[in-house]
Structure formats: C-alpha cells, structure tokens
Amino acid sequence: MAKKDVEDLLIAGGEDKHLRAKYDQPATMEEFVALAATDGYHFTVEELAQVLRESGDVFDKHGNPPKRSIWWT
C-alpha cells in the first residue's frame, strides 16, 4: 500500500502544477514524507527512495527556481 501511495503522489504531481510546486518546497525526504502524510499519503523515506530508485528518478532539485524531476506524467 505504501508503494502505491508514493506512486499515486508522483502521478498526482505530474498532473497538477500546484501540487508539484507544493512538494518541490521541502528540503529533505523526511520533510517531503511528513508533508505527504498531511495530504493522506502514507509512506516512509525508505519507500520513497525505493520507488525513485526503481524509476530512475533523483530527489535532488535543479534549476531556478529549484524543482524536482520526480513527477510522473
């Protein structure tokens, strides 16, 4: 279930630029996971890292303003 929550959030962020912007703000995976929990997505840092690793995505931000390239479309 937790892996599905990660995937659901990455898909939702790919479809909604406001959600994407909200989740581009946290500096750490821990802050990202805590924010996700407030929106009803329940997963751990380890589960987030596993899904990102399996999909070849990197949590780091890039660009100006800084954004993540983890969102699925």
Res 13: pLDDT: 97
Greatest CA separation for the chain = 34
pTM exceeding the 0.75 threshold for the entire prediction = yes
pLDDT given at position 64: 94
pLDDT tens digits for range 20-65: 999 999 999 999 999 999 999 999 999 999 999 999 999 999 999 9
pLDDT for position 73: 87
> Can you give the three-state secondary structure of the chain, one letter per residue?
CHHHHHHHHHHHHHHCHHHHHHHCCCCCHHHHHHHHHHCCCCCCHHHHHHHHHHHCCCCCEECCCCEECCCCC
Q: Which pair of tokens denotes residue 45?
A: 């840092």
Is pLDDT above 80 for 1?
no
Q: Are 11 and 72 in contact (CB under 8 A)?
A: yes
